[in-house]
Structure 1
Amino acid sequence: MSNSNSKQSILIIGAGCSGMAAAYSLSLQPQNYNVTLTDKSHTLGGSATSYELDDHLFGADYINDGVQGASPVFHNTLSMFESVLGFRASDVGMQISFGNTVDSFWSNVFPSHLVDQFQQDIKKFGRVLNTIKRFEIFFALIPVDKMLKIFNFHPSFGDRMVYPLVALFFGTGNETKHISSAILERVFLDPSMRLFEFSEKSLLASVPHMKAFPELSRIYGKWKSKIQSNGNVKILASNQVNSIERGTKEAKNAGGNIRASLTDLKNSHHRFESFDQVIFACDADSALKILDAGSGSTWRERKILGNVLYKWDVTVTHHDYDYMRKNYQMTYDSKYNAERYDLDSKKAFEFAQKHWRPLYLIKMYEEDPSQVEMSFDLTHYQGQFEGMPSVGTDADLKPQDAPPTERQAGNQGKEHSQSATSDGSQHIERDKTLPVPKNHVYQTIYLDQDSSDRWTKYQVNRDKIILEKWWKQQSHRFQHYAGTVPWLWTINGKNNTCFAGAYTLVNMHEVAMVSGFSAAYQLGAPYPFKDDENCARLFRLYLLLAHMSRMRSEDRSGFFS
């Protein structure tokens, strides 16, 4: 907690969502904190980036890359972006297209032969979700593939329907079969994490409405200005933290508990600075590397953070429609229709015939259908292609009020791309006609570099590739929920150190933001949405899980709140 006679000096490593959230909370009490937020990238946002496009070819001058949008129940994220910063996310109906043969295809738009084939499994799945919820502590340690066997589901039901659905919406990729069964249950039933509404007739009740973000480079640029407005936070991009010493003689002599070695990557200038506290808002591997380069990590930190498994994925953003047609079901075809003649099914078939526009698409490897590649049609997903202003429709600010200072450009990917030069002004053409499919922007994700021999990446026409990026992605295996998540509270707050990031629970933007708020809260900073029960619900849960703590007495209405 902060000392009333002096300010605490806080170092935050990582300016993605969790680091920015922590910095924002700390910025609200400039009398108590001096904060330095660093990131080795030249732009803020972590994996939430925007990239410059050729407006004349594609009908928009940017895409959001890495993070596309959020569930409407991501209340902390939406409250920050909309209520605090003034942007507006847009509603989008999430049509999905999985597989491209009669034996593999299904969608949430209309019932297919595959849905009919697994009708009994689908009905049983609903009952099993409630069983998992009732005995969640037990099922938290059981991976999904083992759970499906325990309840005697048909193996192809998991391969064809359950795994690809969760992989696509939840970011678990080809590790879906190994994730905790409790996580699967929560994406259907948890009010703070729910992505799907279950239907015993078709698995998904309807086309879920999601939120597509406005331009993330403008959001993070505006967030940066907001954080710095009280004068107690420095945000340093292109600054790398090399090592951290905690509690050493050198750190004490420098006037703090933490001695950090930093390098300004713009000019290679090396320096040391001292702090009272450090928040690692970066991935677990990087946190351990920085600690071990200094005074060293503790055995608990090595055990808990070292248990986080990362894999390398690559995204290829392109406009190769021929590749998409070959590998995905891009158009409606009545041959996939289930043999149903009820009124609701007929309406669904008619709707699909007129309004088929899938955003999420899955390709399954026939030799192992549980392993997938996935794609997004960004032209269908992101509102700027239809004329939505880059700050969102009916936003509280204008595009020129939030220039895209964090937008990336160039053709070498995240670490080497240049900053874009737009001044923020924008010509708005509402209700634009979408480009023809060959000029749509697609993003295809190839999962796990160790399985690259199966990738169809090299089928993409090189002349139609816009951007290629590698991503370090956390594996959601069940060991993560046995060896990392339940034990983070034993290292958080120890040795003047906190850890934040989506890896501390599950790979979701909402979790990343709440983890940053929680780290700052444990240092005495306010939680900005304590009066919003929808926001506070997940915050309380995360605070208990990751810090074994509850909200302060002045922030709660009862002892157990």
Structure 2
Amino acid sequence: MAPNGISGQHGEPASQSVKKRVLIVGAGAAGMSAAHHLSQHRDRFDVTLIDAVDYCGGQAFSIPLDKERYGASWCNQGVQGGSYIFHHTFTMFNRQGYQADPVNLHVSFGKDETFWTNVFPTKVLAEHQSEVQRFAKVLKFMRWFEVFFALLPLRLVLKMFFFSEDFINIVALPMTALFLGTGNATPEVPAVMLERLCTSPTYGMWYPANENTVVDNKPPMVVFPNFSEFYSTWKQDLESRGVTVRLSTELDEVVERSKKGVTVRLRARRPAEDSHNPAGADQDIPPQDEFFDELVLCTLADTAKRVLGKTASWRERKVLGSAKFSDDITITHNDSDYMKKHYENFYRDDLAIRDTNGVDQSGRLEEAKTSFRPMYYIKMYDQDRQKLEMCFDTTNYQSQFPEKVPFEQHVFQTIYLNKDRDSELWSDNEIAEDKIIRKDWWHQLCHSYTHYLLVVPWIMFLQARNSVRFGGSWTLVNAHEVAIISGLAAAVDLGADYPEDLENDRFAFLCFRLYYLLGYGKWYRRQYSKGAPTTQLARDGASWPTSTYGGVYQGPGVATQERRCWRQEMKTGRSTDNLAQDNGVKDGPDRSLLERKIAISEPDKSSTEIDVFILVEAADGTKSNSKSTLMLANQAEAKIRDD
């Protein structure tokens, strides 16, 4: 119970005898977070959590893989990693017994003459050297006068400072699109996003900007654990705390709502084989009406508007209807030929430069020759370079894969953006059908500047009106951490307490307070951190924030060793040992590729008599097969490497 007999900080009187019945719609990060924090007060809340699909996690889930072929038995889809500022996410990992793994991000933007990366300088940066130097100065100027530039469209601001079309499309837009996956809405994102990415010491991925090479850091990031297992464990934890979790249950519409409660119409769904129930199906199953005291809609804004139907106010229709979304598709595949055609996957000496504005870069080049491992790619379409295609090399990025895997056995996730507007630019038909592992469609938020003019500032005026609250990452920016905080904020507004350990984590608490102020128009008052930390929970939380302003999380829920997950998965037999002596052959346009496939023709042969098939693909595309013993195969491989 909060001080003075008040349930939470929204001013409603607490009830000692009757539990408040709360329906949470959406079992993604926001809905799970809301249910979790309400479940800490079982004497006050009777919580029901529903989702139309048959799993928890929303856009965060894992898909199965062929372990022997790819080195791992699963990979995360939808949500893969984040930043060290995700304090609420990491503490929730720890509460459920999971950890994220650290990784230093390598990116690969463009192809051939437009290629650049954060790992080593390339020719395209030298060609735009004057703009690169001016870019760093402009970012500082924008930081000084941020209030004037914050919500202006990024492309407009860059044109105001006379940057060329090539620099905007090749350099500025890709480095912004990487942040939160802003996709093909990147030209219209608020300029403050790029500015803060380069000038903020807390969440600035590219901080500090480099006046010679734009960026020269490898952002310290984290990759998430198996999300299907994490959310399954979290679901079991919620059920043990008294939460009723009803999957394959869809909210058809809100029938009636008032200050006294909400009547909703729910429809059962038939679970699909992969748990991803198709939208709009099972209309033959009759719905049922149920009553709840409070409703928390942790759905996308357009879905919230649809289910509110006739009960939606003019204000709700206006604000929720102003959020823009696009339909994107992610194709998970193993087509290395597609990747070589459309992206730069290896160090290329012919594109690298050893000097930028008089600064020697040879050290970075030597390191890149053996360590360049692109994890995130962006391709600018030749027909319209402000339109983008995104891709992950999940083998390089996600930590359950072996450290060394031949490139031909990597798993990739290519993302094609904005079907209605840009599908004619897509090259998805070039991915070999037999190399496709899975296809997933997404309904994604567009981070247009209009979102921060017409949606975000007005959400506070929708909350708690006629017993309905809203949660989800769309309420601010599309990030797992924002979703977690939004669900927590809804729970706090209903009367739950903010966790004691997180209140003593000064960075986490500040992030929550600012979100609560923006989303609900209220400043959350301290309960546990008015003085020096005295309890173990308080001392633990106070030790987590480090670095400038406490932005870097160093506490439970994040490992300190890269690919810790892979080492653990090997012990359980869910990942293999290394599949190569190095991470594939580091090739350029004039280097040969080598793929070794070992086939045991007779079980009783000794290891030196194992038949080995070597496929050598020359620079001109010709291929030849040879058959020899394992010893001869190793000699051939060594010779090709030497050549």
Q: 1:132 to 1:543 in 2, by over 3 A?
A: farther
Q: Is the 8 A contact 2:60 2:227 kept in 1?
A: yes
Question: CA offsets, 1:355-389, max 9 Å, x none?
Answer: 12111111111222111111111111111112xxx
1:220 aligns with 2:216: no
Q: CA deviation at 1:276?
A: 0.9
Q: How does 1:86-97 map to 2 (within 5 A)?
A: 86-97=97-108
Q: Is the 8 A contact 2:102 2:222 kept in 1?
A: yes
Structure 2 partner of 1:235: 245
User: What residue ranges of structure 2 are gaps of 5+ in the alignment?
Assistant: 1-11, 272-284, 532-643
Structure 1 runs of 4+ off > 4 angstroms? 341-344, 555-558
Structure 1 partner of 2:451: 480
Q: Is the 8 A contact 2:504 2:529 kept in 1?
A: no
Q: CA deviation at 1:186?
A: 2.9
Q: 1:191 to 1:494 in 2, by over 3 A?
A: farther
Pick from 428, 452, 467 the counterpart of residue 438 of structure 2.
467
CA distance in 1, matches of 2:503, 2:127: 47
1:547 aligns with 2:563: no
- Give the fraction of aligned pairs with identical amino acids, expressed as a percent: 38
- Please give the secondary structure, in 2, of the residue aligned with 1:330: coil
Q: Is the 8 A contact 1:379 1:434 kept in 2?
A: no
Structure 2 partner of 1:501: 472
1:262 aligns with 2:266: yes
Larger Rg: 2
Structure 1 partner of 2:96: 85
Q: How does 1:168-207 map to 2 (within 5 A)?
A: 168-190=178-200, 193-197=203-207, 198-207=209-218
1:455 aligns with 2:426: yes
Task: Give 1:297's aligned amino acid.
Answer: A
Task: Give 1:33's aligned amino acid.
Answer: F
Q: CA deviation at 1:513?
A: 1.1
Q: Is the 8 A contact 1:27 1:228 kept in 2?
A: no
1:347 aligns with 2:363: yes
Q: Is the 8 A contact 1:49 1:65 kept in 2?
A: yes
CA distance in 2, matches of 1:557, 1:123: 46
Q: CA deviation at 1:229?
A: 2.3
Taking only aligned residues, the RMSD between alpha carbons, in angstroms, comes to 1.9
TM-score (norm 2): 0.75
- Please give the secondary structure, in 2, of the residue aligned with 1:551: coil
Q: Is the 8 A contact 1:505 1:511 kept in 2?
A: yes
Q: Is the 8 A contact 1:530 1:536 kept in 2?
A: yes
Q: CA deviation at 1:190?
A: 4.2
CA distance in 1, matches of 2:169, 2:115: 12
1:162 aligns with 2:172: yes
Q: CA deviation at 1:184?
A: 2.3
Question: CA offsets, 1:478-504, max 9 Å, x none?
Answer: 111110011111111211111111111
Q: CA deviation at 1:118?
A: 2.8
Q: CA deviation at 1:552?
A: 2.7
- Please give the secondary structure, in 1, of the residue aligned with 2:466: helix
Pick from 313, 330, 334 the counterpart of residue 349 of structure 2.
334
Figure out how many residues of one structure are paired with residues of the other and give that number: 501
CA distance in 1, matches of 2:199, 2:47: 38
Q: How does 1:79-478 map to 2 (within 5 A)?
A: 79-82=91-94, 84-102=95-113, 104-190=114-200, 193-197=203-207, 198-231=209-242, 233-247=243-257, 257-266=261-270, 268=285, 270-292=287-309, 295-340=310-355, 345-386=361-402, 434-450=404-420, 451-478=422-449
Q: Is the 8 A contact 1:70 1:212 kept in 2?
A: yes
Q: Is the 8 A contact 1:41 1:237 kept in 2?
A: yes
Q: Is the 8 A contact 2:354 2:361 kept in 1?
A: no
Task: Give 2:103's aligned amino acid.
Answer: V
Q: Is the 8 A contact 2:88 2:508 kept in 1?
A: yes
CA distance in 2, matches of 1:144, 1:218: 39
- Please give the secondary structure, in 2, of the residue aligned with 1:259: strand
CA distance in 2, matches of 1:126, 1:34: 53
Q: Is the 8 A contact 2:104 2:220 kept in 1?
A: yes
Q: 1:69 to 1:351 in 2, by over 3 A?
A: same
Task: Give 2:396's aligned amino acid.
Answer: H
User: What residue ranges of structure 1 are gaps of 5+ in the alignment?
Assistant: 387-432
Structure 1 partner of 2:9: none
CA distance in 2, matches of 1:25, 1:326: 48
Q: Mean alpha-carbon deviation: is it higher for 452-461 or for 527-536?
A: 527-536
Q: Is the 8 A contact 1:113 1:338 kept in 2?
A: yes
1:519 aligns with 2:490: yes
Q: CA deviation at 1:555?
A: 5.4
Higher relative contact order structure (alpha carbons within 8 Å, sequence separation ≥ 6):
1
